[in-house]
Amino acid sequence: MTGFEPRNPDYAAQVSGGFERHSFMALLGVELVRVEPGFCELHLPWRKYLLQQHGYFHGGAIAGLLDSAAGFAAYSLMPADANILTVEYKLNFVAPGTGSRMVARGEVLKPGRTLTVVRADAFAIVEGEEKLCCASQQTLMMLADRHDQKDGEVRAPARAG
Amino acid sequence: MTGFEPRNPDYAAQVSGGFERHSFMALLGVELVRVEPGFCELHLPWRKYLLQQHGYFHGGAIAGLLDSAAGFAAYSLMPADANILTVEYKLNFVAPGTGSRMVARGEVLKPGRTLTVVRADAFAIVEGEEKLCCASQQTLMMLADRHDQKDGEVRAPARAG
Amino acid sequence: MTGFEPRNPDYAAQVSGGFERHSFMALLGVELVRVEPGFCELHLPWRKYLLQQHGYFHGGAIAGLLDSAAGFAAYSLMPADANILTVEYKLNFVAPGTGSRMVARGEVLKPGRTLTVVRADAFAIVEGEEKLCCASQQTLMMLADRHDQKDGEVRAPARAG
Amino acid sequence: MTGFEPRNPDYAAQVSGGFERHSFMALLGVELVRVEPGFCELHLPWRKYLLQQHGYFHGGAIAGLLDSAAGFAAYSLMPADANILTVEYKLNFVAPGTGSRMVARGEVLKPGRTLTVVRADAFAIVEGEEKLCCASQQTLMMLADRHDQKDGEVRAPARAG
């Protein structure tokens, strides 16, 4: 329980609908495990295509997982007609990405009218134990007047700034 | 020309060999385009599996690209018996990931005995023009006594700290 | 020459007026040296009250210098009735803060309607040579409807988000 | 209680001794309030020389406070003959620096042989209530063979990398 009040009562459906439209999540094999107001947990099971030269999860795969965990945590607090962009993030890799799966949890630190700040951490599951692998801080921006892309819709580029 | 003197005369082969062992690069479809001492350029052609909900390149795909561009830029300055880990990075997304391909260039800002700091930026190619999409600063750490994983070799986890 | 077009023809006066109202700049002893559209250079002469335990410039003094160099670089592109807040920044300390003065240069990387991204670096002046000491990336937000504090004016807190 | 085991039983004296040698802490007026293994709390009372143009605590003053809170949290876990440098940090300003004092708490997230990662947050005290003002993630590096500067000692520059 995060203590945040969602502005959209259907926040969980909003998040899972957004998740489905991220084809990159399907490419990595990410699973949406839990959504609460201001919180999102994603899992990334080990696959041999997610690795770097030492045989660990590649930093970019972990970054993609944390990017989305933070984005959906923030998105869960947005009104139904809003949309969201990632402004920036910062990752500290504190241990190699070992283990059978990577678990990422994003939690809103400060929701804002325009900007929302989220902390999202990734944990390696090694012999059933969670081990902190990567810690992040992220900033997301609400776009009040945009909608998700529908299939086949051509969109003009939006500006992040 | 970056002005850095490589410690390994075969730095280009070292980098391309390392690149081949990153299975995540193959999953994304990243191409190794140019290596110089302290510099690396990678390309990521548009594919429908690299997208987020607006139809742009997903931030995590851009992060994975920049993670590797910075890592290989730093790796090109390492001695032949060294290895490398990513310590941390910070990304600012300044425009959406539109266009037909994403071009990432990593350039060493400060090589160090233990830590190397790199700036790596990603540009969207839109109608033949480069447009800055994501700017990053990254820290890499040299591991003096490790070697890349050979096929099938089982490795004990290393510590990033 | 930065290539940016200022929205306020009196941008230089706007920046120097803002600089005067930062009492923290006076405490540190910061000098405003150069302003151009999207660019600002500040100097911090060595003083024994700016140091850490090794006798170098304290990281916080360097952070304060870079915070302001980036802020004023962004501020120089704002319209006359706008104001500005720092959203976030990231500093990499690549060499100790030695020497007789610290020179900081902020340069706008991407101006935006709401958010502006700036790179600002600090150089130690050691025997007349510049040596990179700290590299940063920063995000600033324009507040369209606020004015600087006048002397003695009581203000309600603004929200950064 | 942080759960960390200090390598130096006199960690508290080590930290307060280091704090005394930071002249910049005295310039700002920072108070060392609490030290535990892997934890440090610093206070910065309001003074009119710590402000920016809106009359709030200047971001650089908050950065200096958080820089030291994180540094001393990490330092508390170092052996008696070790020293410490700041590698990098990232700050998110989530609310303006209002109130009568700024309280910073640094807590080690991951201690390491070479690198230690710390989270340090600053809270504004407004009418007796704590309000999150700035959230940070920081990396510190242990230098095994260095000692603090003694008064008047001339030191050669160390390299951060």
The pLDDT score that the predictor gives to residue D1 is: 59
| Average pLDDT rounded to a whole number, residues D29-57 | 95
DSSP D48: G
* 3-state SS, residue D30: coil
pLDDT above 90 covers a percentage of chain D that reads 81
Average pLDDT, chain A: 89
| Average pLDDT rounded to a whole number, residues C153-160 | 36
**Beta partners for residue A101, in sequence order:** A45
Confidence class for position A149, pLDDT limits 50, 70, 90: very low
Angle at which helices D59-75 and D11-20 cross, to 10°: 150
* D119/A contact by beta carbon, under 8 A: yes
The pLDDT score that the predictor gives to residue B143 is: 86
The pLDDT score that the predictor gives to residue B112 is: 92
Q: Considering Cα of B47, then B53, then B54, then B56, what sign does the dihedral take?
A: negative
**Beta partners for residue B115, in sequence order:** B141
| Average pLDDT rounded to a whole number, residues B4-13 | 96
Query: How far is residue B138's CA from residue C94's CA, in Å, rounded to a whole number?
Result: 12
Query: How far is residue C74's CA from residue D20's CA, in Å, rounded to a whole number?
Result: 36
- Of the candidates B71, B89, B158, the beta carbon closest to that of A91 is on B89
DSSP D63: H
pLDDT, one tens digit per residue, over A70-97 is 999 999 999 997 889 999 999 999 999 9
Quote the pTM value.
0.91
B161 contacts D113? CB cut-off 8 A: yes
Query: What DSSP string runs through C92-114?
Result: EE-S---SSEEEEEEEEEE--SS
Average pLDDT, chain C: 89
* D147/C contact by beta carbon, under 8 A: no
Q: Considering Cα of D146, then D152, then D156, then D161, what sign does the dihedral take?
A: positive
DSSP B49: G
A116 contacts C160? CB cut-off 8 A: no
**Where along chain B do its domains lie?**
11-143
CATH superfamily of A11-143: Hotdog Thioesterase (3.10.129.10)
Confidence class for position D93, pLDDT limits 50, 70, 90: very high
| Average pLDDT rounded to a whole number, residues C4-15 | 96
Q: ipTM for the complex?
A: 0.89
Choose between A54 and C68: higher pLDDT.
Answer: C68
Q: Is 80 exceeded by the pLDDT of residue B32?
A: yes
* B76/D contact by beta carbon, under 8 A: no
Confidence class for position A145, pLDDT limits 50, 70, 90: low
Short-list A101, A90, A78, A66, CA closest to A14 = A78
The alpha-helical segments, DSSP class H, found in A54-149 are: 59-75
pLDDT, one tens digit per residue, over A2-50 is 789 999 999 999 999 999 999 999 999 999 999 999 999 999 999 999 9
The pLDDT score that the predictor gives to residue C93 is: 98
Q: Is 50 exceeded by the pLDDT of residue D156?
A: no
Give backbone dihedrals phi and psi of B114, rounded to 5 degrees, phi first. Answer: -105, -50
* C114/B contact by beta carbon, under 8 A: no
Give backbone dihedrals phi and psi of A84, rounded to 5 degrees, phi first. Answer: -150, 140
Query: How far is residue C45's CA from residue C60's CA, in Å, rounded to a whole number?
Result: 15
Q: Is 70 exceeded by the pLDDT of residue A158?
A: no
Q: Is 80 exceeded by the pLDDT of residue B63?
A: yes
The pLDDT score that the predictor gives to residue A155 is: 36
* A77/B contact by beta carbon, under 8 A: no
The pLDDT score that the predictor gives to residue B159 is: 34
Confidence class for position C89, pLDDT limits 50, 70, 90: very high
Give backbone dihedrals phi and psi of C145, rounded to 5 degrees, phi first. Answer: -120, 25
CA distance between the termini of chain B: 32
**Burial environment of residue A114 by CB neighbours within 10 A (0 to 12, 13 to 18, 19 or more):** middle
Chain A hits for D109, Cβ within 8 Å: 92, 94, 132, 135
Chain B hits for A16, Cβ within 8 Å: none
Confidence class for position B158, pLDDT limits 50, 70, 90: very low
Query: How far is residue A123's CA from residue B62's CA, in Å, rounded to a whole number?
Result: 22
- Of the candidates C90, C94, C112, the beta carbon closest to that of B90 is on C90
Query: How far is residue A134's CA from residue A108's CA, in Å, rounded to a whole number?
Result: 17
Residue B149, number of CB atoms within 10 A of its CB:
17
| Average pLDDT rounded to a whole number, residues D140-156 | 56
Q: Which residues contact C116 (CB under 8 A, 6 or more apart)?
A: A161, C74, C77, C108, C110, C139, C140, C141, C142
CA D110 to chain A, closest CA, distance in angstroms equals 7
Chain B hits for C137, Cβ within 8 Å: 90, 92, 135-137
C25-to-C45, C62, C127, C142 alpha-carbon distances in Å:
12, 12, 25, 21
* D86/A contact by beta carbon, under 8 A: no
B87 contacts D112? CB cut-off 8 A: no
The pLDDT score that the predictor gives to residue D145 is: 57
Confidence class for position D82, pLDDT limits 50, 70, 90: confident
pLDDT above 90 covers a percentage of chain C that reads 81
The pLDDT score that the predictor gives to residue B160 is: 39
Chain C hits for B132, Cβ within 8 Å: 109-110
Give backbone dihedrals phi and psi of D19, rounded to 5 degrees, phi first. Answer: -60, -40
Average pLDDT, chain B: 89
Short-list D137, D141, C92, D51, CA closest to A121 = D137
| Average pLDDT rounded to a whole number, residues C72-86 | 93
| Average pLDDT rounded to a whole number, residues D22-43 | 97
- Of the candidates D92, D112, D119, the beta carbon closest to that of A117 is on D92
* C152/D contact by beta carbon, under 8 A: no
pLDDT, one tens digit per residue, over D34-45 is 999 999 999 999
C116 contacts A161? CB cut-off 8 A: yes
The pLDDT score that the predictor gives to residue B129 is: 95
Residue D135's H or E segment, with its range, is strand D129-143
C88 contacts D88? CB cut-off 8 A: no
Average pLDDT, chain D: 89
Q: Is 80 exceeded by the pLDDT of residue B49?
A: yes
Q: Is 60 exceeded by the pLDDT of residue A159?
A: no
Chain D hits for C139, Cβ within 8 Å: none
What's the gap between Cα A75 and its chain centre?
A: 9
- Of the candidates C92, C110, C139, the beta carbon closest to that of B117 is on C92
Q: How many helices and strands in chain A, by DSSP H and E?
A: 3, 6
The pLDDT score that the predictor gives to residue A22 is: 92
Q: How many helices and strands in chain D, by DSSP H and E?
A: 3, 6
* D63/A contact by beta carbon, under 8 A: no
Query: How far is residue A24's CA from residue C129's CA, in Å, rounded to a whole number?
Result: 47
- Of the candidates D68, D88, D155, the beta carbon closest to that of C60 is on D68
Q: Is 70 exceeded by the pLDDT of residue A147?
A: no
| Average pLDDT rounded to a whole number, residues D54-75 | 96
Query: How far is residue C138's CA from residue D65's CA, in Å, rounded to a whole number?
Result: 18
Chain A hits for C116, Cβ within 8 Å: 161
Amino acid at site A3: G
Q: Is 60 exceeded by the pLDDT of residue D97?
A: yes
pLDDT, one tens digit per residue, over D120-134 is 999 999 999 999 999
Query: How far is residue A14's CA from residue A77's CA, in Å, rounded to a whole number?
Result: 10
E strands, B1-151, are 31-36, 39-45, 83-93, 101-110, 115-126, 129-143
Q: Is 50 exceeded by the pLDDT of residue A156?
A: no
Chain A hits for B149, Cβ within 8 Å: 53-55
C52 contacts D58? CB cut-off 8 A: no
The pLDDT score that the predictor gives to residue D150 is: 43
Both structure tokens of A154? 């051509």
Q: Is 80 exceeded by the pLDDT of residue C146?
A: no
The pLDDT score that the predictor gives to residue B56 is: 93
Choose between C149 and C120: higher pLDDT.
Answer: C120
